[in-house]
Amino acid sequence: MKKILVVLPVEQRHKDMLEAAAPGWEFLYALPEQVSAEQVAGAEVIIGNIAPALIAGASELRLFQLNSAGADAYLKPGVLREDVLLCNATGAYSKAVAEHGLAMTLALQKKLPLYRDGQNAHVWRARGTVTSIADATVLVVGLGDIGLHYARMAKALGATVVGLKRRPGEKPEGVDELYTTDRLDELLPRADVIFSVLPGTPETTHLYTAERFRLMKRSAVFVNCGRGSAVETEALRRALADGEIAAAAVDVTEDEPLPPDSPLWDLENLLITPHVAGGYFLPETFERIVGIAAKNLALWLDGKTPSTVVDRKTGYKK
């Protein structure tokens, strides 16, 4: 019997949804840390991320549905056969990550991390002037589902929103100006807030260099909820330490977990969260992932193209 391996912490209602999409198939369920090479080897469909090292043994694999939006770990040479259809979970994380990014943005603008530090030290002290997202120019770098969700929230709060994406297209609702990413250097000096939500690809690696931080306003705040590889760590540290930008917030870092001896921990104007914007911390995200997987599975079995096929050259949804 044809086998589908589900590597997700599903409940019975999730199993019912997935199994309804593929009647007649045998379903196997395992947690990521418990999945075996034998289970992987016999599966024609895998739903959920597994260790890339296990993929080499997936000789029967035809459809690989990720539970993540990012696919970079599986796009490295030799990891996944070219004939395997790769799908991601684009759309599942937009609410969770965009809201996390907006919360970080407002916290930086109002200096809330400094006041939390003061609370921990039992110090009652004002920390000077703040900024506002209303009437600010917000540059969203990576205008996919997450970026667009963030853009629309910032717009609703009164910001002028400038979006950057790889390919030209029609300007979506909630975005005042739309450009392609080759205009980044031109637009950085205009931005009061830079929100970056780029995937990890060769083109995005170390996109934010020392030179680009120097293009930003000294009053700017920089928020990264995409991939840590997009930022040169030392360039960010220096930009914050030298006051080239006002503050930054990162949910992702080049090295994860961030080493305890990293100098980033000691920067007063840097807010760090441990890659928790996405994941399943917002329960709705997991429900969306299962829904996407079930829909894509049904489309594939019906001979149609799933909705979140990954372009292997770019790492983005096609």
How many residues are present in the chain? 318
pLDDT at site 274: 98
**Could you give the count of Cα atoms lying within 13 Å of 152 in the half-sphere of its Cβ?**
12
- State percent of the chain over pLDDT 90: 95
pLDDT at site 313: 85
Q: According to CATH, what is the number of the domain 94-272? A: 3.40.50.720
Residue 186 annotated to the active site: no
226: nearest Cα among 116, 109, 104 = 104
Mean pLDDT of all residues in 54-81? 94
The one catalytic residue among 62, 152, 238, 275? 275
- φ/ψ of 16, rounded to 5, equals -60, -40
pLDDT at site 112: 98
Residue 14 annotated to the active site: no
- Give the alpha-carbon dihedral of 255, 258, 260, 265, to 10 degrees: 120
Task: Give, in order, the Cα–Cα distances in Å from 35 to each of 65, 81, 82, 87, 190.
Answer: 16, 20, 23, 20, 49
Write down the residue that tokens 């407002």 correspond to.
106
Write down the residue that tokens 């997936």 correspond to.
58
Amino acid at 43: A
What is the reported pTM? 0.95
pLDDT at site 315: 85
Query: Is the CA virtual torsion 145, 205, 184, 213 positive or negative?
Result: positive
Amino acid at 148: L
- State percent of the chain over pLDDT 70: 100
- Give the alpha-carbon dihedral of 197, 202, 207, 211, to 10 degrees: 180
pLDDT at site 251: 98
The one catalytic residue among 100, 227, 237, 288? 227
pLDDT tens digit string along 229-284? 999 999 999 999 999 999 999 999 999 999 999 999 999 999 999 999 999 999 99
Q: Determine contact, residues 66/86, Cβ cutoff 8 Å.
A: yes
Q: Where are the domains of the chain?
A: 3-92+282-301, 94-272
Q: Which pair of tokens denotes residue 6?
A: 């589900």
pLDDT tens digit string along 134-193? 999 999 999 999 999 999 999 999 999 999 999 999 999 999 999 999 999 999 999 999
pLDDT at site 261: 98
Mean pLDDT of all residues in 89-101? 97
Q: Which pair of tokens denotes residue 174?
A: 């909630």
pLDDT at site 316: 84
The one catalytic residue among 11, 186, 234, 256? 256
pLDDT at site 26: 97
pLDDT at site 1: 78
Question: Which pLDDT band, with edges at 50, 70 and 90, does 314 fall under?
Answer: confident
Q: Under CATH, what is the fold of the domain 3-92+282-301?
A: Rossmann fold (3.40.50)
3-92+282-301 against 94-272: fold identical: yes
Reply yes or no on whether the pLDDT at 318 is more than 90. no
- Give the alpha-carbon dihedral of 220, 226, 228, 229, to 10 degrees: -110
pLDDT tens digit string along 193-239? 999 999 988 999 999 999 999 999 999 999 999 999 999 999 999 99
Q: Determine contact, residues 220/195, Cβ cutoff 8 Å.
A: no
Residue 167 annotated to the active site: no
